[in-house]
Structure 1
Amino acid sequence: MRVAALVITLLSLLAGCSEPTSDSPMVVYTSRDDALMKALFEAYSDDSGVPVRYVTGSAAELIARLHREGRSTPADVLMVSDAANLWLAARRDVLSPLQSVVLSANVPMYLRDPAGRWFALTKRARTLVYSTERVDPQTLSSYAALSEPAWKGRLCLTSADNLANRSLVATLIASHGTAWTRRVLSGWVNNLATQVFANDTALMEAIIAGQCDVGIVNSYLYGRLKQDNPQLPLALRWADQRGQGVHINITGAGVTQYAPHRVAATQLLEWLSQPRAQQLLANGNLEYPVNAAVNPPAAVASWGRFRGSDLPVALAGSLQQQAEALMAEVDYP
């Protein structure tokens, strides 16, 4: 039995060393936008000569598919949004640890898995958004301040089903503990102006419509709305600048556990962390590069500088269940 297992392992390793071809291209499972992926992988193929095919779906669907396919998967790379999804993929053992000098140099430690199973590719801030017509930005300071009586009937939030929300709560637990976070969440619920929203865009539209004055959203979604309407009567306010710093989440990728082209997949991840790809990714979705040598897009830079939290983003996954339970405890809808 041991000999058979060793043979299977050696065959898997040898298969992972094979080169992608037009008949057997590199395959990426991704939850990212189709147009962005098309431009990105065309650029990679131009630079490397390596053909890439990508398959889209939700993060949950793709992680389940990898788990179901096991050794028979055609996928070499998984690319999804939110650190909690990457943490889950690693926990379900569908990603393989790798060591790369390039990735270690380009991706800060707090933005990657400690075991090297996934690496951030872009960053987004989850911060405060407010009506420029009804709110003085100097009255906004932190996530916790939104639980104070001054914001009673003025706060809009997205639902507890929103993964970005739960990831924020997970990092609040990591920074301040359960009791503190429970008090903040209770205050948020008490201050709600209306029912919670399914997504950040609907929340921002509610602020514009006058249903509420302030909320919490992902920076790139604000950017999309601003791009469509330069006169948007909303602005971002960077939270917790005197504390932990604004909450950071990521998009990221890892090499799959049974990648048919493991070496080539690692090379793709390394390319994604370098300037050309970082610019394509950041420009394509109004996000922040993870490579410190690359500047954010001009539109993103125009929102102003901020200090981001340097908590390990993997905490968004490891504390996800605690965050979900705490939100349910305070009847966060």
Structure 2
Amino acid sequence: MRMKLAATAAIALTALPLAASADGEVNIYSYRQAYLLEPLLNAFEKETGIKSNVVFAKQGLAERLEREGRNSPADVVMTVDISRLNELVERDLVQDVDNDVLEKNIPENLRHPDGKWFALTTRARLIYTSKERVKEGEITTYEQLADDKWDNRICTRSGKHPYNIALISSMIAHHGEAETETWLNGVKDNLARRPQGGDRDQIKAIAEGVCDVSIGNSYYYGNMLQDENQRPAAEAVRLVFPNADGRGTHINISGISLTKSAPNRDNAVKLMEFLSSPEAQGIYATANTEYPANPNVKPTGLVAEWGEIQPDSLSLQTIAENRNAAVKLVDRVDYDGE
């Protein structure tokens, strides 16, 4: 049964019985929202004639794949954050893809060494600063977030959120656990309030004068600028691309994996190839103010206006491998505590 894409809330996991194998179709399990995928999958069907069946969910896809086992109808999983992609690998739910098109379109540091996942878009983990209370150039690195001058001036979401865990994992890769623990303690000491909310809430907190500095993903800022009600808060902050003059700004990804079962494997690989193509990369990145993963595709719209990004070339697989250490470190410093 084919489900029409709808820009609505996530559909319950049990709501969509998918036929395992069907000519000219591909089955997708997705954490990505409907409005992001609709133009992509419409373009894919127009180009290839292959129809897409989609299950949207906010959580639980890995568990569903485990329950379904080899009988799962899912061909691919589309998700955000390296930790969720790595979870699929660790649970042995996805298979290797050795494909020249994907390896040409997606840089080595943005794909699994054995092709178990491929990035489709990237997002920068930025520093937001108050335009009124922080001078331009006053903070330029993640390391400076621990400086005493920011005492009682920083807001963040939970240290245990995957986006912050990925950033901490990258710090461990660059500095080691001991130095990163000292740094994270310093950031905690500088917090203006207990970690809470999401990335948008940190921007709002700066606009309201609760704090002067925060950390957040680039696309949240872009999305707020396009929302009439949230634009004033976004316009009150300045974007800082940390470590641009050094190792580069930490990035995370949205990505795709081919499931172990993949009853429509050939169609699924065609979808993966299409999503890495310049046409699809342009559509996908623009829809959520993200950066294309394909280096031959330039950012557009608001993202292009922010200027060229100098991304950290650290392998996302290395970040994934440091995740457990980062989680333990957050607990050790009691980052989310009083």
TM-score scaled by structure 1?
Answer: 0.91
Alignment of 1:196-275 (within 5 A): 196-229=195-228, 232-275=235-278
Aligned partner of 2:103 in structure 1 is 104
Query: Which ranges in structure 2 are unaligned for 5 or more consecutive residues?
Result: 1-19
Match status 1:293 vs 2:292: no
SS at match of 1:293: coil
Aligned length: 314
Cα offset for 1:241?
2.0
Deviation track 1:288-326 (CA, whole Å, cap 9, x = no partner) reads 001122111221011122311000112232111110100
Provide the C-alpha distance between the structure 2 equivalents of 1:332 and 1:186, rounded to a whole number of angstroms.
8
Deviation digits for residues 219-264 of structure 1 (CA, Å, limit 9, x no counterpart): 0011111222555111210101233211010000011100001111
Residues 74-117 of structure 1, C-alpha deviations (whole Å, 9 max, x = no match): 10010000111111101111111011100000000000000111
Q: What CA distance in whole angstroms lies between the structure 1 residues aligned with 2:308 and 2:252?
A: 17
Q: Which is richer in helix?
A: 1
Q: What letter is aligned with 2:320?
A: G
1:276 to 276, 279, 290: 279
SS at match of 1:314: helix
**Where do 1:1-333 residues align within 5 Å?**
20-21=23-24, 25-58=25-58, 60-229=59-228, 232-333=235-336
Deviations 1:170-226 (A, max 9, x none): 111011101110111000100001121221011111111000001110000111112
Secondary structure, counterpart of 1:113 in structure 2: coil
For the residues of structure 2 that align with 1:155 and 1:307, how far apart are their CA atoms? 24
SS at match of 1:138: coil
Stretches of structure 1 lacking an aligned partner (at least 5 in a row): 1-15
Rounded Cα–Cα distance in structure 2 between residues aligned with 1:271 and 1:176? 38
Q: What fraction of aligned residue pairs are identical, expressed as a percent?
A: 37
Distance 2:331 2:296 in 1: 41
Aligned partners of 1:111 and 1:275: how far apart in 2?
Answer: 16
Contact 2:169 2:319 in 1 (8 A): yes
Q: What is the alpha-carbon distance in structure 2 between the residues aligned to residue 135 and residue 202 of structure 1?
A: 19
**Partners of 2:23 and 2:326 in 1: how far apart?**
41
Q: Do the aligned partners of 2:98 and 2:114 also contact (CA within 8 Å) in 1? A: no
SS in 1 for 2:60: helix
Q: State the shift of 1:19 in Å.
A: 5.9
| Whole-Å separation in 2 of the counterparts to 1:327 and 1:130 | 24
Shift of 1:283: 0.7
Structure 1 stretches of at least 4 aligned residues deviating more than 3 Å after TM superposition = none
Task: State the distance in 1 between where 2:268 and 2:100 align.
Answer: 15
Q: Distance in 2 between matches of 1:289 and 1:183?
A: 34
230-239 or 216-225: which moved more? 230-239
Q: Map Cα deviations across residues 115-164 of structure 1 (whole Å, 9 max, x no partner).
A: 11110000000011111111112111111101011000111111023110
Q: Distance in 2 between matches of 1:249 and 1:185?
A: 19
- Whether the 8 Å CA contact 1:30–1:78 is kept in 2: the answer is yes
Which amino acid is 2:329 matched to? L
Residue 155 of structure 2: SS of its match in structure 1? coil
Question: 2:158 & 2:187 partners in 1: Cα distance?
Answer: 12
Distance, in Å, in 2 between the alignment partners of 1:228 and 1:82 is: 24
Query: How far apart are the structure 1 equivalents of 2:254 and 2:205?
Result: 27
Matched AA of 2:300: P
Distance 1:240 1:293 in 2: 23
Calculate the aligned-residue CA RMSD, in Å.
1.5
Aligned partners of 1:319, 1:53: CA distance in 2, in Å? 34
Tell me the equivalent position of 2:9. Answer: none
| Residues 208 and 234 in structure 1, CA contact (< 8 A), matched pair in contact too | yes
Residue identity in the other structure for 1:180:
E
